[in-house]
Amino acid sequence: MSWYIEEQEPVYLDYNATTPLDPSVKTAITAGLELWANPASGNPIALKAREEIEKARKSLAELLHVTGDEVIFTSGGTEGNNWVIRSAVEKFKREHPNQTPHIICSAVEHPSILEPLHHLKDNGEIEISVLPIDPKTGQITASDALQLVTPSTCLVTVMLANNETGVLQPISDLSDFVRKASAKHDEQRLCPSKTNFFGIARSIKFDSNAIYSGTTVLLHSDATQAIGKIDVNLAELKVDAITIAGHKFYGPRNGALILRSKYTSDILPWMHGGGQEKKLRSGCKTFYASSGSACHSGAISPVLLACGISKEMAERTVRFSFGRETTNEDVDRVVKELKAMMFLAKHGSSLMNVINAGPVPGF
């Protein structure tokens, strides 16, 4: 087989970066362009536009086992992640002006989580604790949260599925440990001793189970890479919020912040204006696409380094990610082409020499 593939259709194995639009999505976008009126207006065309948006909201809510009131549309995963971080920090500062907000994340988060956190830390606005990764599994150890949660912890954010390794993190277990640690701090704050000023035993009993419905720590998971691959259920994950991006599961380049209804009064508005999206994200709504991805390229993967991979090995690593249109023949072809390229690299052949020489023996 010839090593070069310029006369063949390219094989797309970068689905974790973005997925192609599903034909039904293209049809919906085209139809949506006809609904040009501002959905916030009161005219009949605007009403139809608003109905279509709410229909989309309901469909997404059903996919994620939540209510429509818990779906807030955004421009993408990056906006949602930044929003959660900023809101958690600002809310904590308002309630505790003399304390520094503390945030816990994993060592393998997406740049749209890590970069905002590092920016805030560099400005002296927050403190960060990082959950290490087990090199054997690529996962965090959920129980580590017991030692990391402090009275100043306002947010714990750990992605559900990693965009480079595909590893699923134990989010439900992590949530349990965070709630337990948070309950302990709340108990110490609310009931510092077992007796009152007169030495009489307190009759107040602290209910740690109530923490799940009113914890001071917001639990968030970037579920961008998980949607469409596994069933994502906020109740089962035991988190308060997740972020998603449509272009990761055959949709347009937009996204949503899924926020449990009891927290909609806690999160701070991201954009101010006309009061769209429950007065949390103002701005005229759109049917199709907005910007919203902050991925990097050409750099050594911090995810692989966090997993214990050497710098030398990380520099030589290539990510392949599959989608529903990937065939066994596609994978076989790419494997053969890789073998040919490695053969050429090993024997020091230049690309021009290879093109002039034609097929590589044995491939």
154: annotated active-site residue: no
Q: How many domains does the chain have?
A: 2
Cα–Cα dist 134/202, whole Å: 44
Please give the pLDDT value at position 223.
97
Residue 338 lies in a domain: yes
Cα–Cα dist 146/148, whole Å: 6
Tell me the CATH number at 159: 3.40.640.10
Please give the pLDDT value at position 267.
73
Tell me, yes or no, whether 199 and 241 share the same domain. Answer: yes
Is 88 within 8 Å of 154 (Cβ atoms)? yes
Q: Which is the catalytic residue, given 105, 154, 284, 295?
A: 295
Spatial CA neighbour of 258 closest among 216, 222, 283, 288:
222
Tokens 């994620």, residue located: 64
Is 274 within 8 Å of 283 (Cβ atoms)? yes
Residue 142 lies in a domain: yes
Tell me, yes or no, whether 261 and 359 share the same domain. Answer: no
For CA atoms 299, 304, 309, 314, the dihedral sign is negative
Please give the pLDDT value at position 280.
54
Residue 284 lies in a domain: no
pTM for the model stands at 0.76
Residue type at position 272:
H
Tell me, yes or no, whether 273 and 343 share the same domain. Answer: no
Tell me, yes or no, whether 235 and 272 share the same domain. Answer: yes
Please give the pLDDT value at position 1.
40
Residue 308 lies in a domain: no
Domain that holds residue 360: 1-16+319-363
pLDDT along the chain (363 residues), means of 10: 56 88 89 84 84 91 94 92 94 94 97 96 98 96 96 97 95 96 75 43 40 67 95 95 92 91 69 52 41 46 83 78 85 82 67 52 52
Angle at 164 between CA 163 and CA 166, to 5 degrees: 70
Burial 221-244 (b: 16+ CB within 10 A, else e): bbbbbbbbbeebebeebbbbbbbb
